[in-house]
Amino acid sequence: MLVSVRKTLSKLYVQVLIGIIAGILLGHFYPDIGSQLKPLGDLFIKLIRMLLAPIIFASVVVGIARMSDLHEAGRVGVKAVLYFEIASTVALVVGLVVVNVFKPGSGMNIDPAHIDSSAIATYTQAAKQHGTLDFLMSIVPNSIVGAFANGEILPIIFFSLLLAISLAKLGPRTAPFVDMLDMFLQGMFGIVRIVMYVAPIGAFGGMAFTIAKYGIGTLASFGQLMLCLYLTSIFFVVVVLGIVMRMCGLSLFKYLRYIKDEIFITLGTASTEAVLPQMLIKMEKMGCSRPVVGMVLPTGYTFNADGTAIYLTMAAMFIAQAMNVHLTIWDQLLVLGVLLLTSKGSAGVAGAGFVALAATLASMHKIPVEGLVLLLGVDRFLNEARAVTNLIGNGVATVVVARWEGALDMNVARAMLNRQGDTSIDALEPVVPLAAEPMTGNKPVVRPNAH
């Protein structure tokens, strides 16, 4: 019995779940203490963020540089963007339908003239630099050193792609440098394993601060909006992503069990960045080729935010309903079209969802931007739902593109998803790095290491 309890408590997702529950209780009953624990959550996020730039850089460069055909990289990129656009559009439409059916903001009768908008000044200012042209210009960094220093994911991916293509064209003589980068990448993943030991503490501190600052009473005040968002996110994951996974020949629920550690960490920290390094490892161990994982997963953080898309439509319509702003079906379709653009460039910006929403409302001139104040108190709780949905959606996107490209070993994928025991990184069966294996057409060869 005691051995069984110890085994259960040793699992990362159990420790994170305990941290979340302990944080909620401490924040509720001892808010003075809970409000001072924000640095614990912030420190964990900083530990992960310091690893993101080198991991993304090395993953993309090693994966693509080892491709035998550069046309393959272009094919993967096009397929990924196509899937991202379809998935984001479906998420936006689902959110729009649900918010129109349940109308969570109706009856609030908020007068925009009585709202103090000073609290959202930071977000509205950031929204002014959130246009499509600004986003496209930001892809090319002023300095690659600055991009690495600031952890700007999209510029890093852009530079990594150019370097990888250059190395691939130079041929076999670049192999020693690529091998060195591969060893460097494995070292980075080793640091990730060390950092994960403090994940429960980060989840505890983040949740304690959130409950202490905003209080459980805030949840009751905006309960209908939160309920709509959480149920819509669950519907999108179970039904939409479930169908997508079934079309790929895999089980969504087994996949969710496979990444349960990452789901709980994301729930506790409200950040998908906290688990990106782990997801890169797990998706490769699941049988997806390294080039596909290296390109699709980091890029999806910018272009495939399904949870954020659901949140944006629901939040915009909630504000309109709360302020008695009538929107025709054409107005709502216009909101949908604008969100397709503004939802894309928010990655890496503090309060990304708020900035994208502010940019949308400012460009519409129909829904008062001041209405964002209504969401400030519950945004942290809403962010948990959209972060978890984003995490799951990006993993599914990687599976889809890998399957579409013929770069997913179904035997390895099913073997990993059928595991009943511990699915933490250290416990997973090691798999020979895909990029180091020969390619047979579009079908990668993946073999478990011999014991």
Query: Locate tokens 């924000």: which residue?
Result: 38
CA–CA dist 255, 130 (Å, integer): 35
Q: What is the mean pLDDT of the chain?
A: 79
Q: How confident is the model at residue 65 (pLDDT cuts 50, 70, 90)?
A: confident
Question: Could you write out the DSSP letters of every residue in 60-82?
Answer: HHHHHHT-S-HHHHHHHHHHHHH
Tell me how far apart the alpha carbons of residues 341 and 92 are, in angstroms, rounded to a whole number.
Answer: 12
Summarised one tens digit per residue, pLDDT across range 302-351 is 778 888 888 888 888 888 888 888 888 888 888 887 777 666 655 444 45
Q: How far apart are CA 255 and CA 360, in angstroms?
A: 34
Instruction: Return all residues near 198 (Cβ < 8 A) that are at least 6 apart.
Output: 43, 44, 47
pLDDT band at residue 439 under the 50/70/90 scheme: very low
Please tell me the predicted confidence (pLDDT) of residue 350: 41
Q: What is the enclosing helix (H) or strand (E) of 226?
A: helix 223-235
Distance from chain centroid for Cα 174: 33
CATH of domain 2-67+84-420: 1.10.3860.10
Q: pLDDT (tens digit, 9 = 90+) per residue, 278-295?
A: 899 999 999 998 888 988
Backbone torsions φ then ψ of 47, nearest 5 degrees: -60, -40
pLDDT of the residue at 333: 84
What is the percent of the chain with per-residue pLDDT over 90, rounded to a whole number?
A: 19
For residue 433, the model assigns a pLDDT of 40
What are the domain boundaries of the chain?
2-67+84-420
